Amino acid sequence: MIDVGGESTRPDSPSIPIDEELRRVIPVVEKLAQDISAPISVDTYKLEVARQALSAGANMINDIWGLNKEPALAELAAQTRVPLALMSNQRGAPCQDIVSTVISDLDRAIQQALSAGVPWENIIVDPGIGFGKKQRQSLELLWRLDELKVLGRPILLGSSRKSFIGWVLDLTAEERSREKAFVPPSDQRSGGTAATIAIGIVKGADIVRVHDVKEMAKVCKMSDAIVRGV
């Protein structure tokens, strides 16, 4: 699928007005819906953006706040019968026991979605790697990802190019230098990203969200062949 978002989710990125987000998202969704057959996901926590994106051809809602910012997204997903991805976001609410916190938060979001009428089979869970987690907590979540299976829903993993990869590989200083020269850090984190995806699949990830699609598709195919015989 293609995931379209109009507002940056990087740490400390400012929220943008709804009108601006609509201006960025809707034309892209409309064009993609005309040109490709792949499902389109809209990455937003704003009700009106999600509503108009679905009308424009999107097939899924990806909520990085797990219904904490806008509970009505669940009602919209129920009415339109589209899948709803619920992410656990710890920004502004740090915790110590990260795995139990994430499981509890996702269980709350699932129950909230079900109460709004979202079908059980339309719910996807995302542990929210990097979103308010300390670097070591992101690593712990990856290693213990299989514990999220207790929720009984497909697990979406979004670890691609996250800052904890740069932290582990000690790339921070080098990346800052490259950013000053306007050189993107993607090539520096691609190997680390591949490792997180392979281990994530071993630990039960069903969907991975990536930037470098061609390369990471090969990682997924190889990992699936080893782990699931696919």
CATH number at residue 106: 3.20.20.20
Q: Check: CB of residue 78 under 8 Å from CB of residue 125.
A: no
Give the tens place of pLDDT for each residue, 17-69: 999 999 999 999 999 999 999 999 999 999 999 999 999 999 999 999 999 99
Binned at pLDDT 50, 70 and 90, residue 76 comes out as very high
Say what the pLDDT of residue 183 is: 52
Q: Any idea how long the chain is?
A: 230
Please check whether residues 23 and 128 belong to one and the same domain: yes
Please check whether residues 210 and 102 belong to one and the same domain: no
Secondary structure (3-state) at 163: helix
Give the tens place of pLDDT for each residue, 188-224: 889 999 999 999 999 999 999 999 999 999 999 999 9
Say what the alpha-carbon torsion angle 95, 99, 101, 103 is, to the nearest 10 degrees.
160
**What is the residue-averaged pLDDT of the chain?**
93
Please check whether residues 172 and 149 belong to one and the same domain: no
Catalytic residue check, 133: no
Please check whether residues 130 and 46 belong to one and the same domain: yes
Domain boundary among 132, 157, 182: 157
Please check whether residues 27 and 113 belong to one and the same domain: yes
78: domain range? 1-157
Contacts of residue 94, Cβ cutoff 8 Å, sequence gap at least 6? 132, 134
Please check whether residues 187 and 149 belong to one and the same domain: no
In the block, tokens 């009415």 appear at: 79
Please check whether residues 137 and 186 belong to one and the same domain: no
Domain boundary among 157, 188, 212: 157
**Of the residues 133, 153, 203, 209, which is catalytic?**
209
If one compares 40 and 180, the residue with the highest pLDDT of the two is 40
**Of the residues 51, 162, 189, 203, which is catalytic?**
162
Binned at pLDDT 50, 70 and 90, residue 186 comes out as low
Please check whether residues 30 and 122 belong to one and the same domain: yes
Please check whether residues 87 and 104 belong to one and the same domain: yes
What total of structural domains would you count in the chain? 2
In the block, tokens 């990203």 appear at: 193
Helix (H) or strand (E) holding 17: none
Is 141 a residue whose pLDDT tops 70? yes
- Among 70, 154, 159, 150, which residue's Cα sits nearest to residue 116? 70
Please check whether residues 150 and 63 belong to one and the same domain: yes
Distance from C-alpha of 147 to C-alpha of 149, rounded to nearest angstrom: 5
Please check whether residues 192 and 140 belong to one and the same domain: no
Please check whether residues 227 and 122 belong to one and the same domain: no
Binned at pLDDT 50, 70 and 90, residue 155 comes out as very high
Say what the pLDDT of residue 188 is: 80
Is 230 a residue whose pLDDT tops 80? no
Domain boundary among 157, 174, 200: 157
Catalytic residue check, 162: yes
Q: Alpha-carbon torsion 212, 19, 77, 34, what sign?
A: negative
Is 149 a residue whose pLDDT tops 70? yes
Q: Could you tell me how many helices (H) and strands (E) the chain has, helices first? A: 9, 7
Cα end-to-end span (Å), the chain: 19
